[in-house]
Amino acid sequence: MEASTTIKQMLAGNQIFVPAYQRAYTWDTELEKSNLPKQINTFLSDLEDYNRSTTKSRYYFGHFLFEEKSENKFGVIDGQQRLTTIVIFLSALFNKILQVRPLSEKEEETYEDIIKRKSTYRFETVDYDKQLFKDYVIDQIKKDKNGLETESARRIVIAFDFFNLHLADKDESYLIKMLDTVQNASCTTHPVKDESEAIQMFIFQNNRGKKPSNLEIIKAQFMFNVHLYGGEEKESLIEEIKNRFEKIYKSISSIEYRINEDDVLVYTLRVHFNSLWETNAVDKINKLLTDENPIPFIKSFTQSLAISFEHLTSFFGKDERENIEIHSLVTLGGIGIAMPFIIKAYKFGLPLNQINQLCQKLESMVLRHRLIGTRADITSRLNDVYQKFTEDNLTIKPIIDRIEWMKNVDSDSWWWAYWNNRELERALQGGINHLTAKFLLWKYENYLESQGKSGYSPTRFDKIISPELEHIAPQTENPEAGYDTYDEEFINQYINCLGNYLLLSKSHNCSVGNKPFAEKRASYTYLRQQREIQEMTKDNPTWTRDLIQKRKEKIIQFLVKNV
């Protein structure tokens, strides 16, 4: 490879691949117009802006860092997101040209240089997305979107479809100019044979696209330190780290839309060092890497990372789908304080019924902490029971007992009483964040549905179609519409409270809007809490402050007892 080259020359005659220990495709596509365009949209708009300009200089695609594996075979260490997108775009471009006319001899040659020559693919992504990339993007023999196992595969498909859609109405001159711009775009390359040099360069290099995550930086630092201090075991240790990160990145592709990888890094730190106080993963790990022999830590922590991601794949996957307690905790969100407990429970092999019980109690603590809004530190109240939860002491009883005690402790025990039932009841009296209110009303809905029923199966939150929060008495007064008088007390104390909130689907909420109460009431036929409103007003179809107060007290009574 030449240090200063073009995209066509960089790809021609070479086979470039994404090593298995690298992350998969992460660039997103915004299919609709947005004030914050995603990377794919920016990629395309930058090209179009260049083609509209009068500049005579070549378009520049940046710097690419490669590890040379053998003659004409290179693993891309940095720049793979851009390179993957370039190949996806070129594939869509050739696809559109072929719809207009056959390729010219020169275009055939270009296709073979930068996309595929016979059975040789010029670029391949990570192993677990490689066949999808070939079938959907390059060969286009897969037309459906079924069987997409990873989030990265979904992104690849969306990007290719986005480019195809954008090119659908473009004329031949646009297509030829775009092909010329991309294939002749300039770039710089740095192929190295020494993997440690490539890794070291990756750590410090700053390219376009997404900045490296903390997890990527830690991975690179681990591999670099193994190169420095691995001794006779260096090759086997590097292979071990690569294999573990291959599994980690595959897990990330499955769960990244549910949890941030850098958060998992911190949770793993808390599990590994058995302390909820661990926060800055990069600083902590950097200090440990200055030890005389960092290899034992690198091995053990990489294993801990792989275990965390493996268990979280189960937690956010099959277990969340099949267990309402896990689904409820995940639906609540903002559950960082709970995750180290969960990872430990999986790591120690606790049965699912105990994990479900743990999720219920942790949800209660997270929800109370959010609703009450105290600045009191919850970590210091839970850290000791967390630390005692070990492989030698597998019972979750001390954790559950602590949470129950914190919920019921007398207010005189001020250091512990911030989250007790009295504080919860006080917090539920006024306005509540709408996302949290939807969650609380979903819990209330399942409570109403379960009354008088044996063997009742709770309804999952994601079974409610686009749930939204409805103000029964609307925020904007509708005169003579069956609501109480909109005086200062009613507006300040009753409009924004649990008693006046109702869970509706988005379409239902849009349809009722600011209508008179009688019309709203007639439409309240779906969820059990909607029918509750009908029952409360059957003798007098007017939604008053007394009814709002009565309903609020009933909801609060349920929540204090069950949250």
Task: Kindly tell me if the per-residue pLDDT of 206 is higher than 70.
Answer: no
What is the predicted pLDDT for the residue at 477? 87
Question: Position 518: which residue type?
Answer: A
Mean pLDDT value of segment 218-247: 88
Query: Who has greater pLDDT, 201 or 340?
Result: 340
Which amino acid is it at 9?
A: Q
Q: Give mean pLDDT, residues 67-81.
A: 89
User: What is the model's pLDDT at position 207?
Assistant: 40
> What tens digit of pLDDT does each residue of 164-203 get?
999 999 999 999 999 999 999 999 998 888 766 666 666 6
Give the residue-averaged pLDDT of 530-551: 94
Q: What pLDDT digit, counting tens, does each position of 369-415 carry? A: 999 988 899 999 999 999 999 999 999 999 999 999 999 999 888 89
The region of weakest confidence among 236-250, 355-369, 374-388 is: 236-250
Is residue 210 pLDDT above 70, yes or no? no
Instruction: Reply yes or no on whether the pLDDT at 510 is more than 90.
Output: no
Cβ–Cβ contacts within 10 Å for residue 390, how many?
11
Q: Is the pLDDT of residue 208 over 90?
A: no
How confident is residue 204, by pLDDT bands cut at 50, 70 and 90? Answer: low
Beta-ladder partners of 504: 468
pLDDT at residue 33, rounded to an integer = 45
**What residues form DSSP beta bridges with 470?**
502
The overall average pLDDT reported for the chain is 90
**Helix axes 545-562 and 434-450, enclosed angle (nearest 10):** 80
Q: Which of 14-28, 431-445, 511-525 has the highest mean pLDDT?
A: 431-445
Torsion of CA 331, 337, 338, 344, to 10 degrees: 140
At 201 the pLDDT is: 65
Which of 383, 380, 381, 385 has its CA nearest to residue 396? 385
Pair of tokens at residue 308: 């965390």
- Backbone φ, ψ for residue 2 (5° rounding): -85, 145
Bridge-based pairing of strands 60-70 and 73-78 is: antiparallel
271 near 386, Cβ under 8 Å? no
Q: Residue 118: which region, alpha, beta or left (left: phi > 0; alpha: psi -120 to 50)? A: left
What average pLDDT score do residues 239-252 get?
A: 87
| pLDDT (0 to 100) of residue 239 | 86
Q: How confident is the model at residue 46 (pLDDT cuts 50, 70, 90)?
A: very high
For the chain, first and last CA: distance in Å?
63
**pLDDT computed for residue 37 by the predictor:** 61
> What percent of the chain is modeled with pLDDT above 90?
67
Q: Which residue has the tokens 């990629």?
A: 43
Helix locations, 143-233, DSSP H: 151-167, 172-183, 195-204, 214-229
* pLDDT band for position 1 (cuts 50, 70, 90): low
Q: Comparing 288 with 455, which gets the higher pLDDT?
A: 288
Residue 454 has pLDDT above 80, yes or no: no
Name the residue ranges covered by the structural domains of the chain: 4-198, 213-316, 335-427, 434-562
